Amino acid sequence: MRYNVSYMEDIIIIGAGVTGSFLARKLSQYDLKVLVIEKENDVGNVTSMANSAIVHSGYDPLPGSKKAHFNVKGNAMYTEIAEDLDVEFERIGSLTIATSQKQLETLKDLLKRAEQNGVEAKLLSAEETKKLEPNITPEVTGSLLCPSAGIINPFTLVTHCMENALDNGVRLLLNEAVEDIKRVDGHYDVYTSKGVYQAKAVVNAAGLYSEEMASAIEPIEWTLKPRKGEYFVLDHFKANFVSHVLFPLPSEKGKGVLVSKTTSNNYIVGPSSEEVSSKEDFATDAMTLANVRAQATLMVPNIPFQHQIRVFAGLRATPSTHDFIIEPSKKYDSFINIAGIESPGLASAPAIAEYVAEELLGKLFELKKKENWNPRIKPYVKPMQLSQEERAKLIAENPDYGTIICNCEKVSLGEIKDVLSRSLPCNSIKAVKKRTRAGFGKCQGGFCQPRVLMIIAKHKGVSPTEICYDKLGSNILLEESK
């Protein structure tokens, strides 16, 4: 059955994390009315921004599982995605490290699993591993190399993805929490904190709150538990201190504490993996971080933690099914759940979006492609990646690119003005930080944050007291003084 009603949205997507954003972009190819509703003040502001930023190869998931299928397929899509969306991405490969003869046997089992999943992988000796990673533990007995693994900028991945969707006709509502969903006369009424919206189909991509959204339609058989991961971020102290994503052997809790460089030439160490009761618990604690540090130094003994610039925690929704939940509700094929998208969710997201659009929503709607759909966003100017001659020419044409606002990360006024002028709203200091890295450096915004605040206020034509750090209500300035 296909719908022909024309007075409401065709599809409402609840949630603008990486999966919801990829789905919005995919659906923007077609002649459909698509609305995305997000409770946060920015897209990709919860699980999608607080993770390891790894595009996993897919060697680890159970063969035949949704995780295995979508991970491997999604990984292969990222080279083109990164080019189209102007996102920093590098296939540096991963090494899973063994430190005993017994663990070597486990690596052989993982190699077989990689082969079953269709992932290129190779066992390396201790000597081969040390040659690739000189700072690895002397206890290493071997490793599993998976060349297709990569590192990505998760902030620009989600923001550029949604920007491309908006440029192609999708609508986005921020700061609206979905409070109820009702099936009425063959369509859905979606009640938010600000209004009611109607749609022929709803996709539940609400992350940690997917269980609540699904339960509004029918009783469900699965549950989600928040699992916290705590991390260290180290300054860009030395090039190629590690050159690959380094994993210990995986356990029932996940892939373990990794050590990796990032696309910004920082280093990330983590995460922990502990179930928590609150879906708003983003606190870090000394004991957990000490354990993360201890686990990491078993792989890389000389990690210079004196270069730590911040710690953070992220939450992921762990499903009771132990696999991704990607399916219509049992009562209505027009209500689709995308839930429990924990690791390797980032790698899997584009493939999940393609499947939901083409296979599930394609049964409900005629997917007529737009003639003018553009898969690419307008490229971002990155002065520090230009040659001196190119940078001088750019600054001569637009002096804003020569005015440095963030000294740590060398972010210019021109770059900040650029992100503020795009189709995707940039409403907070944190939103500017995620898009430009202004405030991500050693001082963590201590010097540039006031300047960024004033730039946002001037651009929006509002008082500086109205500018938030992140969520609504997180105002930096309370009142004007003389």
- 341 contacts 234 by C-beta, under 8 angstroms: no
Is 160 an active-site residue? Answer: no
Q: Name the 3-class secondary structure at 382.
A: coil
Nearest in space to 135 (alpha carbons), one of 223, 216, 239, 60? 239
Print pLDDT tens along the chain (482 aa). 343 333 589 999 999 999 999 999 999 999 999 999 999 999 999 999 999 999 999 999 999 999 999 999 999 999 999 999 999 999 999 999 999 999 999 999 999 999 999 999 999 999 999 999 999 999 999 999 999 999 999 999 999 999 999 999 999 999 999 999 999 999 999 999 999 999 999 999 999 999 999 999 999 999 999 999 999 999 999 889 999 999 999 876 567 899 999 999 999 999 999 999 999 999 999 999 999 999 999 999 999 999 999 999 999 999 999 999 999 999 999 999 999 999 999 999 999 999 999 999 999 999 999 999 999 999 999 999 999 999 999 999 999 999 999 999 999 999 999 999 999 999 999 999 999 999 999 999 999 999 999 999 999 999 999 999 999 999 999 988 87
What order do you get walking across the sheet with 54-55 strand by strand?
54-55, 150-152, 89-90
- 423 contacts 163 by C-beta, under 8 angstroms: yes
- Cβ-count burial 350-386 (b if 16+ within 10 Å, e if not): bbbbbbbbeebbeebbebeeeeeeeeebeebeebeee
| pLDDT at res. 254 | 66
> Of 56, 69, 187, 236, which one is the catalytic site residue?
56
Q: Quickly tell me which residue has 């260290």 as its tokens.
A: 232
Which tokens belong to 66? 């949704």
Dist. CA 71–CA 471, nearest whole Å: 31
Name 194's Cβ contacts closer than 8 Å, sequence gap at least 6.
Answer: 173, 175, 176
ω into 226 cis (within 30 of 0): no
Listed in sequence order, the DSSP H helices in 177-285 are: 210-215
According to DSSP, the residues that pair with 90 across neighbouring strands are 151
Question: C-alpha dihedral over 404, 405, 406, 412, to 10 degrees?
Answer: -50
Nearest in space to 39 (alpha carbons), one of 15, 9, 58, 20? 15
The residue length of the chain stands at 482
Please count the other Cβ atoms lying within 10 Å of the Cβ belonging to residue 480.
8
Please count the other Cβ atoms lying within 10 Å of the Cβ belonging to residue 449.
20
| pLDDT at res. 253 | 59
Name 31's Cβ contacts closer than 8 Å, sequence gap at least 6.
Answer: 368, 369, 370
| pLDDT at res. 480 | 84
- 17 contacts 158 by C-beta, under 8 angstroms: yes
Q: Which helix (H) or strand (E) holds 211?
A: helix 210-215
Which tokens belong to 309? 């610039």
| pLDDT at res. 7 | 58
**110 residue type, one letter:** L
Quote the pTM value.
Answer: 0.96
Rounded to 10 deg, the angle between the 449-460 and 413-420 helix axes is 40
| pLDDT at res. 481 | 82
The sign of the torsion formed by the CA atoms of 78, 83, 88, 91 equals positive
